[in-house]
Chain A
């Protein structure tokens, strides 16, 4: 390929022609040695794959990919400049930009994946849920499983003066909002954030606390929490170790929900625009590689990806455990293996485009649970999403890739206004229309209404 390209170049120059596409092959990047942070989760795959499959290096970038101990340290390292960019929770750039938690202007031009999380409960809670609902006590219970069977357990505990404890990974994580959504959809109050209660436990019937993803199984086993919501491989790990049962995946809570993004600081993006473009290009290619299928729709590269991710400096869990969800299967129990081809989506459904509507959903959840303390007008939601999500960078990178022939015209939503079509693919069937954030807030029973 390389040889062919250089031959073409010579040929073109010999004819005295000048082709813009050939110079576009390599951007004049400001910075060639980059450091990206990630958390040990399978959805860091686009960054890892872009490095290992040489997509970064083809852009002239040498990228070090460094594991971070938790989301807070990761964000701090990006803000302080120790890292150039990182695998981030969708809520992190938004929360940092509006100043919930650490304040810093973080932007994203690339959504890394859809779905990929699960809610796991301890064996004891699962048995109690099965007692409450005998339909769950079969080898393959019908999905989606709502928190209805959990409600009596929560109430019983409340009478005994205890609260069920559950873990999530970060206050502004998708996991926090999904767990809350799942609980609230069955009428269990997960607690509100207030100006004085930054732990989000006011009025809680179930108390949620923060635990870094890799620590989840150990914390569950130690009995500090009775359930958790986390990304892979930490749900499959619970099944493999026999310490808990994943009851639902976030695919059932909201079909094809946005999960992680690639975040950099606004300042970094201003100083290194070409580098940013080159990085996004490599990441789009990595996403496409990860979601490549054969003519039967079977994902062809995922086993190789799982093998790469199982390296100790990346996710590091056993290949067997990572392989399950990455190749489109999920063990809900040892006896309950199901095909879930969309458990992790890295490219399909225009997944990598930075949708404003995704950002607005996270903003509505921050408002719903009181992380945003005062009511805001709809315009504020639109503008904040625009401050964080940068589809312009994404589209420019996509255009270059199209010219190089690395992606197809149909891979990218070229003409979208950045808003996905309204959807009611939620576990409770409530319609989400990003163009009406206030109306959406008001359609829920539990949580703030404006």
Chain B
């Protein structure tokens, strides 16, 4: 029995209450009731999500835009796989730079075999594409030519007619006497009719043009498929070529090259004498410094989506930490002292509604002022040395984004903490007075514990706000992260762009959900009452 309650308690604290009926069912408690609850809390959401995917897949292809069709779930999934494949390839290249000995030789061999397998396929897909291209061109030509011929002939006929009418009007205009008002009015009327006719003629041509455009813009699945096949092979080939090149010129190879050269210089130094000695000494020291550089070198890997996600999460937590460090103490002070509350209210009211888009440039300039030369600044250099976050290359853009997150997300915590502190049970305060507790013990033993549930509710909202703000901040500051990924993909304007945006929607959503869950756990841990937490 105790295990059951432990599990139920754990589920409750973790905010996973939808699992409760499953556990109870396992213990055979009120099976019908549990099955009903499982249906409600698990089956219904899953079915709703499936329905959503089905409707999405059904309706997406119906809406055509100039950037392509709205992607269906399967296209988005493919695109997500593409993003992942890019990450894996870049990671492999970076690893290849560091490999030594057997593992290097093995990978090199693997890559070379795969490359030789690809070579015949390259020719084949190119052929297929050429075929598809030819088929498309001839089909286009056969469809367009008749319309085009009609368009051209009617266009020419109309132009001839236009010219004739124009000439006719011109001739009549010349013949009209200066005082012949009636004729003049007639001419004006005819000129208007002439213009109107041009307009209608133009209209009538437009339908032909639209037909031609439609034929041009129509999908040609065979060709699209051939292009996809060609791209997949060409991209893999390019990756393998670069991988092999990296393996052949990786750090180990460079070091051994430089070492041989150094040995040569050293032997010639000891053979030489007199004035030449210094010259040789110079080559030795220079080669030595080259060696140090080569030994430290790392493959310059571009940031890929998984790295960017981690960096974004780090950034939001950095901002969240700063926000909490400011908001909780200030909130407590406000809750304790009505004077402080009254003094700070205008600031809260004034700054709370300001958009992150406005804060970011301000923080960007301020941070830039503190860090004029990022490469040599102690903070940046120090952070780059840290074990877990060193690879993130924290730079002023990261700091500015984190501060923007902090600025926008501190308000819910501040207000909630103040409210929590202000609404402490009067009995607790009276007890404290009777016990003659000092200010600090009153603060730590009574005020903070009883305000914690509300504070954490505030923190949870803050983290949610921070996560939303962060994407915008990164987009503006071009600090490597999800925001920059979104912006780069949008700027790519490729056929993949649209689908990649949808990938980001899910990535952002899932991470936001996880962050929220984490906060719920904390909130449950500090709530000693039975007050339910919203999902």
Over the window 380-402 of chain B, the binary record of Cβ atoms lying under 8 Å from chain A Cβ atoms (1 yes, 0 no) is 00000000000000011100000
CB distance from B43 to the nearest CB of A (A): 39
Contact of A334 among B216, B395, B492 (CB under 8 A): B216
Over the window 8-27 of chain A, the binary record of Cβ atoms lying under 8 Å from chain B Cβ atoms (1 yes, 0 no) is 01101100101000010010
**Do B267 and A60 touch (CB < 8 A)?**
no
Q: In the assembly, what is the distance between CA of A32 and CA of B397, in Å?
A: 22
| B-side contacts of A310, CB under 8 Å | 494
**Do A40 and B492 touch (CB < 8 A)?**
yes
| B-side contacts of A80, CB under 8 Å | 368, 372, 374, 396
CB distance from B127 to the nearest CB of A (A): 16
| B-side contacts of A16, CB under 8 Å | 268, 271-272
**Do A62 and B298 touch (CB < 8 A)?**
yes
CB distance from B63 to the nearest CB of A (A): 15
For residue B237, which residue of chain A has the nearest CB?
A307
**Do B489 and A312 touch (CB < 8 A)?**
yes
| B478 CB within 8 Å of chain A | yes
| A65 CB within 8 Å of chain B | yes
| B260 CB within 8 Å of chain A | yes
Q: In the assembly, what is the distance between CA of A23 and CA of B492, in Å?
A: 42
**Do A64 and B302 touch (CB < 8 A)?**
yes
Over the window 199-242 of chain B, the binary record of Cβ atoms lying under 8 Å from chain A Cβ atoms (1 yes, 0 no) is 00010000000000100110000000001000100110010001
| A-side contacts of B304, CB under 8 Å | 313
Q: Are A28 and B290 CB-contacts (below 8 A) given A6-B261, A54-B249, A241-B66? A: yes
Q: Find residues 203-257 in chain A having any chain B CB closer than 8 Å to their own CB.
A: 212, 214-215, 217-218, 221, 234, 237, 241-243
For residue A79, which residue of chain B has the nearest CB?
B368
**Do A69 and B478 touch (CB < 8 A)?**
yes
Q: Are A73 and B478 CB-contacts (below 8 A) given A28-B286, A29-B293, A243-B66? A: yes
Q: Find residues 285-327 in chain A having any chain B CB closer than 8 Å to their own CB.
A: 304, 307-308, 310-313, 315-321
**Do A33 and B298 touch (CB < 8 A)?**
yes
CB distance from B375 to the nearest CB of A (A): 6
**Do A312 and B216 touch (CB < 8 A)?**
no
**Do B264 and A319 touch (CB < 8 A)?**
no
Q: Find residues 93-142 in chain A having any chain B CB closer than 8 Å to their own CB.
A: 131, 134, 137
Contact of A316 among B67, B271, B491 (CB under 8 A): B491
| B-side contacts of A137, CB under 8 Å | 155
Contact of B494 among A51, A68, A134, A316 (CB under 8 A): A316
| B86 CB within 8 Å of chain A | yes
**Do B217 and A242 touch (CB < 8 A)?**
yes
| B-side contacts of A242, CB under 8 Å | 66, 213, 216-217
Q: In the assembly, what is the distance between CA of A119 and CA of B53, in Å?
A: 42
| A-side contacts of B302, CB under 8 Å | 64-66, 313
CB distance from B527 to the nearest CB of A (A): 44
For residue A84, which residue of chain B has the nearest CB?
B375
| B180 CB within 8 Å of chain A | no
**Do A13 and B268 touch (CB < 8 A)?**
yes
Q: In the assembly, what is the distance between CA of A175 and CA of B179, in Å?
A: 55
| A-side contacts of B234, CB under 8 Å | 307, 319
| A-side contacts of B300, CB under 8 Å | 33, 51, 62-65
| B-side contacts of A184, CB under 8 Å | none
Contact of B261 among A9, A217, A237, A308 (CB under 8 A): A9
| B-side contacts of A54, CB under 8 Å | 245, 249
Q: Find residues 253-295 in chain B having any chain A CB closer than 8 Å to their own CB.
A: 253-254, 257, 260-261, 264-265, 267-268, 271-272, 276, 279-280, 283, 286, 289-290, 293-294
CB distance from A362 to the nearest CB of B (A): 26
Q: In the assembly, what is the distance between CA of A54 and CA of B227, in Å?
A: 28
**Do B491 and A215 touch (CB < 8 A)?**
yes
**Do B488 and A32 touch (CB < 8 A)?**
no
CB distance from B144 to the nearest CB of A (A): 9
| B74 CB within 8 Å of chain A | no
| A2 CB within 8 Å of chain B | yes
**Do A308 and B493 touch (CB < 8 A)?**
no
CB distance from B282 to the nearest CB of A (A): 9
**Do B487 and A9 touch (CB < 8 A)?**
no
**Do A307 and B235 touch (CB < 8 A)?**
yes
Q: Are A317 and B493 CB-contacts (below 8 A) given A60-B297, A80-B368, A82-B396? A: yes
CB distance from B433 to the nearest CB of A (A): 56
| A411 CB within 8 Å of chain B | no
**Do B290 and A9 touch (CB < 8 A)?**
no
| B373 CB within 8 Å of chain A | yes
| B112 CB within 8 Å of chain A | no
Q: In the assembly, what is the distance between CA of A319 and CA of B249, in Å?
A: 28
| A342 CB within 8 Å of chain B | no
Instruction: Pick 5 A–B contacts, CB within 8 A, sort by A.
Output: A16-B272, A40-B488, A54-B249, A312-B494, A319-B231
* Partner-A contacts on B (CB < 8 A): 66-67, 86, 155, 159, 202, 213, 216-217, 227, 231, 234-235, 238, 242, 245, 249, 253-254, 257, 260-261, 264-265, 267-268, 271-272, 276, 279-280, 283, 286, 289-290, 293-294, 296-302, 304, 368, 372-375, 395-397, 475, 478, 487-496
Q: Which 4 A-B pairs have the closest CB atoms?
A: A316-B492, A214-B491, A13-B264, A62-B300
Add 5 more A-B contacts to A28-B289, A80-B368 (CB < 8 A).
A10-B260, A23-B283, A62-B297, A62-B299, A81-B372
